[in-house]
Structure 1
Amino acid sequence: MPTSKTGNPWTVLLSKPVYENPWISVTEHDVLNPAGKPGIYGVVHMKHVATGILPIDETGHTLLVGQYRFALKAYSWEIPEGGGKMGVDPLESAQRELAEETGLTARQWHALATLHLSNSVTDEVAYGFLAWDLEEGIAAPEETEELQIRRVPFAEAFAMAMDGRITDAMAVTLILKARLMAQAGALPKEVARFLKG
């Protein structure tokens, strides 16, 4: 029976910074690949952690955030998402992000997932939360965000994630995971009843 190999099979010969801005840095590594052959490996280092929030209101609706994504050259419907400072509790960053994008605050929070996004080229870590027992306030999006907010039944958001109208990785993951956790009895009953389908 083969032995499981979980160690690092790459050898880094030289690393050189290529580009940096306030959000990312790019480093190119001269490497020997797992077969021992020379090559290069570019890594994008994210200077912030990502957070995503699936808010559920008292009628079983969620809020989707629509915005044009510059890198994709396409419009995207997502859950409220954003970045948090390294070293700050991801929940604190998620609470701030939910308030900024939607004006909502939540009295109840549940961690849904820790994710690595695009892990072949970036070290980005994302933290996803379910939020409920909501209170409305005034949104204050950043100047780089031109947002539309849609309030939809959770069942519709689930359908959008399943049929490809939502393609954002964190949104799809959190919507589907919330449904599965609710069906498995792994979420508080007061919110799970809206998510089971």
Structure 2
Amino acid sequence: MLNRVADQSNKFEEITISTEPIFQGKVISLQVDTVRLPDGNTATREIVKHPGAVGVLALHPKGMLVVEQYRKALGKSQVEIPAGKLERGEDPMEAAKRELEEETGYKCGTIRHLSSFYTSPGFADEIIHLYVAEDLQQGEVQLDEDEFLDAEIITLEQAEQYMAEGRISDAKTITAVYAWKLYALTGRLG
């Protein structure tokens, strides 16, 4: 039943009995939790902990700003919206502005929150905060030392073609493209 009353939102809560840390990296950590299920049985859950991230739908009069970079986990290059992980205690809106400028060289005159969503709630707690940036002014790209990418401006038609070709295939960018399409059709975002 999808429309549960608010007080029943934890109806199927799994109570943590123990947590075993497995890996602690620079970006993620992995733990295995033993949990008590609602029926009293126990199970294990492998959980990836992530600090969260931001993505930016940067709208330029000529289209949307995107970056192309190689994604080792996929073994191929992807076209994506500017994005990056949150630093500890960082305000997501400030992180969005920072990532936009670092990856594309553009600063925004206006920015607003569009949506926040979990990327893979079955095994990870990563949340992405999606922002819309407009009134862009070009500056200088300031990539991280281990970051290699190209920035470009694409049209909505190009974005849809890239999705059809699999060049755009990540959730944050697909979400941004559909938000942009809604904006083009209705004049409203979100």
TM-score by length of structure 2 reads 0.87
Identity rate of aligned residues, in percent? 30
CA distance in 2, matches of 1:186, 1:2: 27
How far 1:16 sits from its partner (Å)? Answer: 1.4
RMSD of the TM alignment (CA)?
A: 2.2
> Which of 57, 60, 69 pairs up with 2:60?
57
2:95 partner amino acid:
S
How far 1:115 sits from its partner (Å)? Answer: 0.9
CA distance in 2, matches of 1:159, 1:86: 37
2:86 counterpart SS class: strand
1:91 counterpart SS class: helix
List per-residue Cα deviations over 1:29-76 (Å, max 9, x = no partner): 112334443321011111x321111111123x1222111111122211
2:159 partner amino acid:
A
2:54 partner amino acid:
T
1:85 counterpart SS class: coil
Paired position in structure 1 for 2:94: 92
| Aligned partners of 1:113 and 1:174 also within 8 Å | no
| 1:30 partnered with 2:28 | no
CA distance in 1, matches of 2:19, 2:52: 23
Matches within 5 A, 1:97-136: 97-136=99-138
Structure 1, unmatched stretches of 5+, are 188-197
TM-score by length of structure 1 reads 0.84
CA distance in 2, matches of 1:97, 1:2: 36
CA distance in 1, matches of 2:106, 2:81: 13
> Which of 137, 140, 157 pairs up with 1:155?
157
The count of residues paired between Structure 1 and Structure 2 equals 185
> Which of 35, 41, 47 pairs up with 2:45?
41
CA distance in 2, matches of 1:63, 1:18: 38
